[in-house]
Amino acid sequence: MRREHRSSTLGSLVLLAGLALAGTPSATAAPGAVVAPDRVTKAQSEIHQLESTAGRPYTLFRYAVPETGSVPHILAIDDDDHVWFSESGGRFAKNFIDAPPQGRLGRLDKNGTISEWQLTGAETSPMGIIFDDQKNLWISERLGNRITRRSPTGELVSWEIPTPGAWPTGIDIDSKGRVWFTETKGDKIGVIDPASGELKEYALPAVKTMTTGIAIDHQDRIWVAERDVNTIAVFEPKTETFTQYPLSTPEAKPCALVVTADGSVWFSQRGGGKIGRVEPDGTIREYLVPDRFSGPFFLVTDRRGDL
């Protein structure tokens, strides 16, 4: 199950209807014990009746997150339709929100209750989150420089990344259950095999890439957005080789990727004001969004295949 969404609003949540290292588990609770949240808040919702540019009406619900400056970042939806989100805080990009880093996970229930759990460490800046098939929640902790697995009962197990200051950001899971992630400042991608506990890293073909987004296609190939070198790259695990696709739009700043049901690989161009698609033959097709300066960032596909 790959359900990952993004909200970049400050302190609010908006919803619409290789090197190798063995992991060293560090349990924060006895197996089977349910970890209670550190804070539970009944959130007040704002309801807005709106209309899209296509003339379709929709309802937007907005919930205030209790902590000012929490900067809710990535969303993941569990099997009970609870909305989980990372509270990363700010100060991780130039001219971004001036708020100190945070280190919490939040969960919005269907009745509007927000529960929050503190991760190990106060300012680890959790970014990407995603559920696996065993209902574990995997978390990339940017400033903590680790990948953490949270069990359904709340037990935390972490894998420290060998590269110092790697800034793990994007995260995804392949068909074998392996967890892949980008290292934004490490110029690498990494993978954790939960079965063996092994962590491996692979250096990207370029340096100073500030790679963020990651997506895995139906052949278990790993696609990443090399933002600052204006390139989309794909990694073939079977051969441990990369293929690069430079973009023709100058300063396109590719950020996020998503693979649709038909196997198409789409990506956003934050600087180019476009979304793009990689064709099977390697051709890049680009589509200008209506607002050239809107800075399209995160992508998600719905059940109909729409972006």
Are 197 and 211 in a shared domain?
Answer: no
Q: Are 277 and 263 in contact (CB under 8 A)?
A: no
Give the sheet arrangement for strand 20-22, strand by strand: 20-22, 198-203, 188-193, 179-183, 168-173
| CATH code where residue 302 lies | 2.120.10.30
Burial of 101 (0-12, 13-18, 19+ CB in 10 A): buried
Q: What is the pLDDT of residues 209-250, one digit of tens each?
A: 999 999 999 999 999 999 999 999 999 999 999 999 999 999
Are 28 and 138 in a shared domain?
Answer: yes
pLDDT of 20 reads: 42
Are 189 and 224 in a shared domain?
Answer: no
The least confident of 18-22, 33-37, 87-91, 158-162 is: 18-22
Are 133 and 185 in a shared domain?
Answer: yes
Q: Percentage of residues in the chain with pLDDT exceeding 90?
A: 69
Domain boundary among 203, 228, 246: 203
- pLDDT class for 10, splitting at 50, 70, 90? very low
Are 31 and 131 in a shared domain?
Answer: yes
Domain boundary among 161, 184, 203: 203
Q: Which residue do the tokens 């929050």 mark?
A: 116
pLDDT of 91 reads: 66
pLDDT of 8 reads: 36
Q: Which of 88, 117, 91 is nearest to 102 (CA)?
A: 88
Are 237 and 164 in a shared domain?
Answer: no
Are 176 and 273 in a shared domain?
Answer: no
Q: Which of 232, 222, 237 is nearest to 252 (CA)?
A: 232
pLDDT of 182 reads: 98
Domain boundary among 203, 220, 235: 203
pLDDT of 23 reads: 45
Q: Are 178 and 130 in contact (CB under 8 A)?
A: no
| CATH code where residue 142 lies | 2.130.10.10
pLDDT of 96 reads: 63
Global pTM reads: 0.88
Are 127 and 239 in a shared domain?
Answer: no
Q: What is the pLDDT of residues 138-152, one digit of tens each?
A: 999 999 999 999 999
The structural domain count of the chain equals 2
Q: Check residues 271 and 27 and name the one with the higher pLDDT.
A: 271
The least confident of 123-127, 225-229, 287-291 is: 287-291
pLDDT of 4 reads: 39
pLDDT of 32 reads: 52
Are 158 and 242 in a shared domain?
Answer: no
3-state secondary structure of 228: helix
Are 236 and 125 in a shared domain?
Answer: no
Q: Are 305 and 261 in contact (CB under 8 A)?
A: yes
- How far out from the chain centre does Cα 33 lie? 28
Are 17 and 147 in a shared domain?
Answer: yes
Are 144 and 269 in a shared domain?
Answer: no
Taken as a whole, the chain contains a residue count of 307
The boundaries of the domain holding residue 48 are 1-203
pLDDT of 7 reads: 37
Q: Which amino acid is at 8?
A: S
* DSSP 8-class letter at 227: G
- pLDDT class for 14, splitting at 50, 70, 90? low
Q: Decide if pLDDT at 195 tops 70.
A: yes
